[in-house]
Amino acid sequence: MTDRQWSELLGTIRGDVAPSMPVGFIIDSPWLPGWYGTTILDYFSSDETWLAANLKAMREFPEAMFLPGFWSEYGMCTEPSAFGVRCTFPQNEFPHAHRVLVPEGEIDALPSPDPRTDGMLPFVLNRLRLARPRIEEAGHKIRFAVARGPLNIACYLMGTVEFLTMMMMDPDKTTRLLNKITLFLRQWLELQRETIPTIDGVFLLDDIIGFVGLDEFRTFGLPAFRELFTTDVAVRFLHNDAQCRVSAPFLTEMHVNLFNRGFDISLNDLKTMTGNSVTLLGNIPPRDVLAGGTPADVARAATELLDGLREKSRVILSCGGGMPPGVDSRNIRAFVDAVRGREGR
């Protein structure tokens, strides 16, 4: 993000209303390789390709914030790899992290990873360190420490059904596993901040909190996220594009001040649920409209989203979730221009 975009983001979080509504998108490996014209494996394994793809997106759409910006990652394998999972990397398909905890009794024997040395984390961080001079020469800065959330990682370690079942049947083991993961994540986020001094935001992604009930969220999700977001950074950003009716009322208690979710709940309803205290990033349908629609469809959806807002503070217009595969430049341009009032109004 440029200094101007960062200032705009901070102002939006404070509640400032700019003359033009801000636009932003989460971009990473599901979208960037195909849009740039390379394979997913080349995007992961070539620092030059990774940097060029990110810079191209930012140069083509300078009006949009791309979040978190220069996301160094290996898909869902990034954090689970530090716990010793086997990772599969097809040439042009999403990578997969295979579960490592089969019996629940292995939880206490699970090693506590060192983010400085374990799994793919050193490669993630070194890519940022090596690319930082060129990123800053292009007028941008690395702003966010990024990680998958604790419930998300737990599901990759032992399987989603198995973890959710353990949550219901054995709360003590669930707590021990989440405590171990949360401690690791805190160390990982702190290491990113120590290595890249321009970082002043934390970005966590966890869809599993959308699959649990109120009691389970209060018992397991809320304490972990409150621990991770209790930090002195300016932006505390959470992504969950599964259901959020259970967790959204607790965003302020989690210390979240920027939230991205899906599109089944309107921004107006989310503003009511959060008391307009959290900045919302969203939320036209990502697959069926932003990726699958025509430019006219996208412009119409963006215009309806903007015109339907009852209160325009603390909103960054986007899709409901991250940028999906298959979105082409014409549709992104249609969205930006519709919001800016140049087309589609």
Q: Over the stretch 2-11, which tens digit does the pLDDT of each residue have? A: 999 999 999 9
Predicted pLDDT at 232: 95
Distance CA 267, CA 245 (A): 13
pLDDT score, position 345: 41
Query: Is the distance from CB of 318 to CB of 339 less than 8 angstroms?
Result: no
Residue 264: the pLDDT is 84
Q: Within this chain, do residues 196 and 332 fall inside the same structural domain, yes or no?
A: no
Among 189, 220, 255, give the residue marking a domain's end.
255
Q: CA quadruple 153, 156, 162, 164: dihedral positive or negative?
A: positive
- pLDDT attached to residue 102: 63
User: How far is the CA of 27 from the CAs of 175, 268, 288, 318, 322, in angstroms?
Assistant: 32, 24, 17, 11, 6
Tell me whether residue 127 is in a domain. Answer: no
Q: Considering its fold, how many domains does the chain have in total?
A: 2
Q: Let me know whether 238 and 280 are in one domain.
A: no
88 plus 176 within the same structural domain:
yes
> What's the confidence (pLDDT) of residue 109?
86
Same domain flag for 92 and 219: yes
Where is 65: in which H helix or E strand? strand 64-67
Q: In the structure encoding, which two tokens stand for residue 174, read together? A: 């669930």
φ/ψ (deg, to 5) at 203: -125, 115
For residue 26, what is the DSSP state? E
Per the domain annotation, does 62 fall within a domain?
yes
Q: What are the DSSP calls for 9-21, one per residue?
A: HHHHHHT---SS-
Choosing from 206, 226, 255, the residue where a domain stops is 255
| Residue range(s) defining the domain that contains residue 27 | 1-67+262-345
> Are the beta carbons of 151 and 224 closer than 8 angstroms?
yes
Whole-number Å distance between alpha carbons of 211 and 207: 8
Q: How is residue 99 written in tokens?
A: 């579960």
Gap between the Cα atoms of 251 and 40, Å rounded: 33
pLDDT on residue 153: 97
Residue ranges of the chain whose pLDDT lies below 50: 342-345
Domain assignment present for 130 = no
The per-residue pLDDT for 152 is 97
Query: Could you tell me if 161 and 203 lie in one domain?
Result: yes
Cβ 55 vs Cβ 138: under 8 Å: yes
Q: Among 232, 255, 278, give the residue marking a domain's end.
A: 255
- Tell me: do 34 and 173 sit in the same domain: no
Cβ–Cβ under 8 Å, residues 83 and 111: yes
Are 167 and 95 members of one domain? yes
Pick from 311, 291, 309, 301: nearest CA to 344: 301
Tell me the whole-structure pTM to 2 decimals.
0.95
Closest CA to 297 of 286, 309, 281: 286
CATH code: domain of residue 215: 3.20.20.210
Please report whether residue 93 resides in a domain: yes
User: Which pLDDT does position 343 carry in this prediction?
Assistant: 35
Find out whether 33 and 43 touch, Cβ atoms under 8 Å.
yes
Asked whether residue 275 is domain-assigned, the answer is yes
Do 174 and 224 sit in the same domain of this protein?
yes
The answer on 63 and 106 residing in a single domain is no
Q: Which of 97, 104, 101, 67 is nearest to 79 (CA)?
A: 97
Could you tell me if 43 and 168 lie in one domain? no
* Domain assignment of residue 183, yes or no: yes
Q: Does 186 share its domain with 87? A: yes
172 in a structural domain: yes
138 lies in a domain? no
Token pair, residue 181, equals 């993961």
Check residue 101 and give its pLDDT: 73
Q: Is residue 153 domain-shared with residue 294, that is, in the same domain?
A: no
